[in-house]
């Protein structure tokens, strides 16, 4: 009942879904974050700086899981590091990691991103680039709901997984593991091949080398590792040159760390957790608005720096401006 009360009273709670024999799921977002996500993560803004949508599930915030969407705010840079900050997007409070649960969340996110387009034939989210780790239910739901988007897998997780497989399943010595991992992920490695021909040649050479180490490893590389690298690391980079050559989900994981700091590393009951998550987003948006008149932790950058005006000028403007 507390959750239903929040739906009518809390500005961050936008939807509560009830299913028989299940605890309710809760969708959290603001219109401002959706507007920024459309600007930086979707098609239709030719020439605008682009951001990957990162997705990750967070544990130990409260009695439920919280799956978080993050994006890079390309309108500003941090004053100290001169890097673009990571902003939090929609959040989803849920109780299991099942495929159907993630479909519910991602379907809502897609509908929200596309809702600004009047034509039913145009979908802004079709141009999105979305990244995650290899959690099965989550990645399958992402690919099914955002079937026409570009999908990435975190290179750090892929590296860790192949390392673990070689050590625990095949008993490969560390020096050999290091050599093979370098041939996959280093600057001159497989994922950084210049084109599809170079990639295919390097992949075949690596497969043969894996065979000599272990037939089990060679089979695993051909069936699982190489297809994942090709579809979710190499090909997305060929299609979108602005995407990092070795994209990681560090931004989402860093945001998860920030969210845990916001609760002082102590799980909170649902109403208090909603308040604390909302405060994180509110602080980010307040700091972003302060950059409009040269205050705060961020500085506007081109092409958005034209909006840097004195505070008195902004105060004189109407909310519609």
Show pLDDT as tens, one digit a residue, over the chain (321 residues).
677 888 989 999 999 999 888 889 999 999 999 999 999 998 655 556 799 999 999 999 999 999 999 999 999 999 999 999 999 999 999 999 999 999 999 999 999 998 865 444 445 677 899 999 999 999 999 999 999 999 999 999 999 999 999 999 999 999 999 999 999 999 999 999 999 999 999 999 999 999 999 999 999 999 999 999 999 999 999 999 999 989 999 999 999 999 999 999 999 999 999 999 999 999 999 999 999 999 999 999 999 999 888 877 777 776 655
Q: Check residue 237 and give its pLDDT.
A: 93
Residues 115 and 217 in one domain: no
Do 147 and 184 have their domain in common? Answer: no
pLDDT at 118: 46
Cβ atoms of 39 and 45 within 8 Å: the answer is yes
Cα–Cα dist 237/15, whole Å: 35
Considering the domain architecture, whether residues 280 and 297 belong to the same structural domain is answered as: yes
Contacts of 319 (CB under 8 A, 6+ apart): none
The rounded distance, in Å, linking the Cα atoms of 111 and 12 is 18
In this structure, is residue 306 part of a structural domain? yes
Same domain (yes/no): 53, 190: no
Look-up of token digits 């920030």: 258
Instruction: Check: CB of residue 290 under 8 Å from CB of residue 79.
Output: no
On whether residue 218 sits in a domain, the answer given is: yes
Of 199, 230, 261, the position where a domain reaches its end is 230
Largest CA-CA distance found in the chain, in angstroms, rounded? 72
Q: How far apart are CA 313 and CA 112, in angstroms?
A: 32
Same domain, 180 and 135: no
Q: If you search the block for the tokens 């780790």, which residue do you land on?
A: 133
The answer to whether residues 38 and 136 belong to one domain is yes
Judge if 200 and 260 occupy the same domain.
no
Residues 263 and 182 in one domain: no
Residue 235 lies in a domain: no
Output DSSP code: residue 304: G
Total count of domains within the chain: 2
Residues 138/102, Cβ–Cβ less than 8 Å: yes
Contact 138, 67 (CB under 8 A): yes
The answer on 91 and 191 residing in a single domain is no
Q: Is 142 left (phi over 0), alpha (psi -120 to 50) or beta?
A: alpha
Asked if residue 133 and residue 68 are part of one domain, the reply reads yes
Same domain, 276 and 132: yes
Coil vs helix vs strand at 21: coil
Of 169, 29, 11, which Cα lies nearest the Cα of 110? 29
What's the pLDDT score for residue 121? 45
pLDDT reported for residue 309: 85
List Cβ neighbours of 107 (8 Å cut-off, separation of 6 or more).
145
d(CA 212, CA 85): 45
Residue 321, domain member (yes or no): no
pTM given for the model: 0.92
Do 91 and 178 have their domain in common?
Answer: no
- Residue 238 resides in a domain: no
In a domain, 242, yes or no: no
Give residue 134's domain range: 2-154+248-316
Residue pair 180/166 in contact by the 8 Å Cβ criterion: yes
Last residue of a domain, one of 230, 259, 280: 230
287 domain residue, yes or no: yes
């Amino acid at each position: 009942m507390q959750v239903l009360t929040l739906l009518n009273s809390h500005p961050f709670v936008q939807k509560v879904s009830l299913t028989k024999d299940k605890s309710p799921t809760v969708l959290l977002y603001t219109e401002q974050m959706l507007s920024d996500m459309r600007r930086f993560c979707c098609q239709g803004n030719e020439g605008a700086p682009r951001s990957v949508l990162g997705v990750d599930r967070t544990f130990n915030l409260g009695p439920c899981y919280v799956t978080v969407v993050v994006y890079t705010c390309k309108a500003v840079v941090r004053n100290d590091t001169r890097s673009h900050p990571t902003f939090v997007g929609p959040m989803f409070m849920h109780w299991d990691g099942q495929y159907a649960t993630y479909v519910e969340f991602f379907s809502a996110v897609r509908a929200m991103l596309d809702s600004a387009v009047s034509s039913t034939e145009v979908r802004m989210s079709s141009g999105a680039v979305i990244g995650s780790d290899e959690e099965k239910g989550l990645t399958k739901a992402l690919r099914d709901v955002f079937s026409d988007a570009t999908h990435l897998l975190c290179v750090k997780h892929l590296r860790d997984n192949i390392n673990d497989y070689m050590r625990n399943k095949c008993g490969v010595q560390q020096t050999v593991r290091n050599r093979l991992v370098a041939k996959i992920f280093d600057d001159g490695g497989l994922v950084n091949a210049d084109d599809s021909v170079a990639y295919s040649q390097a992949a075949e050479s690596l497969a043969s080398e894996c065979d000599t180490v272990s037939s089990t490893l060679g089979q695993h590389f051909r069936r699982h590792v190489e297809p994942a690298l090709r579809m979710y690391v190499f090909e997305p980079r060929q299609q979108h040159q602005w995407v990092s050559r070795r994209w990681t989900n560090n931004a989402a994981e860093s945001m998860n760390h920030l969210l845990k700091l916001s609760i002082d590393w102590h799980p909170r009951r649902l109403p208090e957790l909603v308040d604390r998550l909302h405060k994180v987003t509110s602080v980010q948006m307040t700091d972003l608005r302060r950059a409009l008149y040269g205050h705060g932790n961020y500085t506007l950058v081109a092409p958005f720096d034209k909006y840097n005006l004195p505070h008195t000028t902004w105060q004189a403007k109407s909310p519609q401006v």
